[in-house]
Chains A and B, each alone.
Chain A
Amino acid sequence: MNGRGVHALGWLAGMGVAIGLAFVLGSYHTDVYRKMLIWVAMALGFNFLFGVAGQIAFSHFAFASVGAYGVVILSHQLGLPFGLAFVLAIVICGLTAFIVAIPATRLEGFYLALATLAFSQLVRVTIDEGGALTGGTGGLANYRLPPFFGVDVRGPWYTVCLVLLVAFTLWILTRVDASWFGRACRAVRDNPRAAEAMGVDIARARILVFVMTSTLAGLAGIGYAYVDNVINPAVFSLENSFLLLFMIIIGGSGRHVGAMLGAVVLYLAPFALEPVAGNHYMLVFGVLIVLAILFRPDGLAGLLRITRPGKAA
């Protein structure tokens, strides 16, 4: 069988298992599984921004909240048809990301991190002070995903939607990563001066990648909004942005497999660690991260490395 066939079979098998799980899990495990899928989608996008394009940004959860609040406010608070609210929420994420990107991507490293931290706080304050529209610190609840063309998407079928969200995110990012644009992103990360000399418009590449990954975060946020049918500012807090960063570092920065592994392991770890270590499991994370940085800079993905060094996953 050729490489393409193996690749297609891998996708099919992965999708089969991921969708199959949706139908066999009980209600408690379904909740865990759905949130894990959201984390995987978030980690994939953030990995592209941080691991592939080298942008240290902490705005990923802020954009997820823009997506989640956007769709819930537009469809349930303002009464727009769900399809329209969905599209508008995504457009709002893209536009917001574009506005943030223009000044922010001129900045590098530490300064970009600060600018995106400031943006995250701005979003948080806006939600907190949004009164009845955003539900303030208490958030929004008592809404439901409306029937889609007469079909009520709930139970395992909603979980399938989240599997498709992950697949869609992975598909887009894999395509982009393997293209001239993916190479340009890695080149800008590794050596901006040389990238520019090779014809890469650095500012344009940085803006595009920021808008693309932030919009994907918004999409994941929309997916999250209907997991519990509750959204509140705490879910999109900065702590989660840091956890996302840890997932990428432990999983293996710059590789899709790494992002997914990191998300699954770090999301599920507290469930295993809490009975043993109680609330101190964060301490275990900390030690793991230090070990990862010291001994395995290519993370968990490095342990099952199948491709050549430097090659994209």
Chain B
Amino acid sequence: MPPIRTRNKRKPPPDGFEDIEDTLLEFENKMKDAENAPHEGKRRNEMLWPIFQISHQRSRYIYDMYLKEGITRELYDWLLKNKYADPLLIAKWKKQGYEKLCCLKCIQTKETNFGSTCICRVPKARMSKETVVDGCASSD
């Protein structure tokens, strides 16, 4: 059996972690709540929405902190390595047109029937007025 690495036994995180620790803990708690929320009456995909949302928020928070130089490169890498943020999603944000992308699933065309992206990738200007969607197109 591999040794259990508890928080106290691990190597300490890089400097500056204590600054963002509280916010990360809050995200962690939110995520736990979302995971344990009842699923009755929800569709299969619907259950995942809050998970994606919180994951997005946390990744955005860490990326923003890194851009604002609130955390060092070292700590940023450590956070990515320890899965506090989604590096693949952040990598997309660096691409033009994907600055606000909400989740990787939204641009995964293989999973849809007509090979299209999610509706939230449609710019608001292109959408009919009746459709109310919180889009993540960068033009919105």
Chain B binds chain A: no
Interface residues of A (CB under 8 A from B): none
Interface residues of B (CB under 8 A from A): none
